[in-house]
Chain A
Amino acid sequence: MRLFLILSFFILTSCGTTYKIADIQEQQKDEREFLNPYFSSTDKEYSYRFKITFMKKEMKGNFVVKKLGYNSHRVVMTSDFGNTLFDLSVTDHDYTSNYVMPDLKKKVVVKTLAEDLQAIFKNDFQVDEHIKTTDQTILKSKEVSLIFAKNESNYFKELVHLKKNKIKTINQFSGDQTDFPDQILIKHNHFNLSITLTKVNIQLEEE
């Protein structure tokens, strides 16, 4: 319970650092809709192991996300014993909790998790600037900054979630440029909370 209070405190009081891009070589207006290449296949089930770290505490288990429609994903997180911890439906601007384990049912916890997932599952991003640095290309708006390696234009390696141009979370993606990244690291900027998702490669026998 104390942890949740601390979390609420951080969320309420955090003011944030302004997001700045160093070493800009080229910057131009480029208003467009950028389609999220990750978790984009409808009805595909993406399986991961998750690890949430908060104030030196850890929680681990299984994580599966499925895209159900144009801008809706459903995600389930279970403990290793199989019981459901979170079952959330997430759209671009909203979320519903289908089930949350009673011990974790705190508004601030569910909201933080849902918003973190919203940021990476979003169907498309409205961007208005195209920026080039020496080794990166960036598509940017006031809400998001999508960072690509130099010769890549589809699979961003980092998504910086912004609120009024201040960093909310930094999300790093790694893997072989497919809709199913090997690893995702979601890191909060204002407090010590991170979520790591690691792809499950073993295909176990089905029922």
Chain B
Amino acid sequence: MKTKIFILLAFFHLTIFAQESKMSNAEIENFKKDIIADSKKIQTLTADFTQYKVMSFLDKPIVSKGRLYLQNPKAMRWNYTQPIDYNVIFNNGKIYINDEGKKSSVDLQGNKKFEKLNQLIVGSVSGNLFDTNDFIITFAKTDKSRIAKLQPKIKDVKKYIKEIQLTFYSGQSTVTEVKLIEPSDDYTKILFTNKSLNKTINASVFNP
């Protein structure tokens, strides 16, 4: 049984790799232009998300679900509803956490590491991470999507993240999949569905 699963997995991996190919320079330029231009038009974004934590020794991923609210460029709320009610608000340099009714906050102003992290999270969701020198960026495409692979250059970030992969489905200029690969090669994949752009979000969503 295990051998069968292994062969099946190996086959899937091969097909994934086979599908993915490098972008030409012209394609890269077009892609960057599309994403940068469109991400500037994003004022708000709301989406459902499913987060899969994949570990090599586990057969099943650890799954969490919720809804994301983004007000470009400064405010963001991750509203986890499963397996527990938990929300994190990034607003004006502060993080507010509500953990099943228990509230706490962290002031990030002056904390460069967290400011970078905040930029990184907002950038990953809005897709605008290309204007920076913080990453070595490579590009790939499949028949259904375009993928940007970002490897951090900063030593402090490298300790946590080996690579960030942003997948944009064809015809969409907002991210559908964010994959955060850790130094161990285990990863977290966040899949966004039911996205809605530039619809007014009630300001109270970003209040703790």
Q: Which residue numbers of A lie inside 8 Å of B, CB to CB?
A: 43, 45, 47, 49, 60, 62, 64, 66, 68, 74, 76, 78, 80-84, 87, 98-99, 101-102, 200, 202, 204-207
Contact = CB atoms under 8 A, between A and B. Distances in A.
Contacts, number: 76
Given A99-B182, A200-B83, A206 B99 contact: no
A66 B57 contact: yes
A62 B78 CA distance: 17
A120 to B, nearest CB: 19
Contacts of B180: 82-83
What class of interface size applies to chain B in its complex with A?
A: 20 to 34
B196 interface: no
A76 B53 CA distance: 11
B65 interface: yes
Contacts of A43: 59
B34 interface: no
Interface stretch (B15-23, B68-76, B183-191, B199-207): B183-191
Interface string B43-71: 00000001111110111111111000000
16 contacts: A49-B83, A49-B84, A62-B83, A66-B58, A80-B86, A82-B64, A84-B184, A87-B55, A87-B184, A99-B183, A102-B160, A200-B83, A204-B63, A204-B64, A204-B82, A206-B60
A205 B182 contact: no
B62 A83 contact: no
What 10 pairs between A and B have smallest CB-CB spacing?
A82-B188, A204-B63, A82-B53, A99-B184, A102-B159, A62-B62, A200-B83, A207-B52, A207-B61, A202-B83
A45 B83 contact: no
B57 A74 contact: yes
B168 interface: no
B90 to A, nearest CB: 12
A127 to B, nearest CB: 31
B192 interface: no
**Best-buried of A47, A206, A207 by chain B (most CB within 10 Å):** A207
B193 to A, nearest CB: 12
A158 B183 CA distance: 38
B80 interface: yes
A84 B82 contact: no
- The residue in A64, A204, A206 that gathers the most chain B C-beta atoms within 10 A of its C-beta is A204
Contacts of A81: 51, 78, 88, 188
Contacts of B52: 207
A205 B60 contact: no
Given A82-B53, A83-B188, 19 more contacts: A45-B59, A49-B83, A62-B62, A66-B57, A78-B53, A80-B64, A81-B51, A82-B62, A82-B190, A83-B180, A84-B182, A99-B182, A102-B160, A200-B83, A202-B82, A204-B63, A204-B64, A205-B50, A207-B61
Contacts of B63: 204-207
Contact of B54 (A66, A101, A207): A207
Given A84-B186, A98-B184, A204-B82, A78 B62 contact: yes
Contact of A45 (B51, B60, B80, B188): B60
A78 B80 CA distance: 15
Contacts of B84: 49
Nearest to B50: A205
Given A64-B58, A87-B184, A101-B160, A204 B53 contact: no
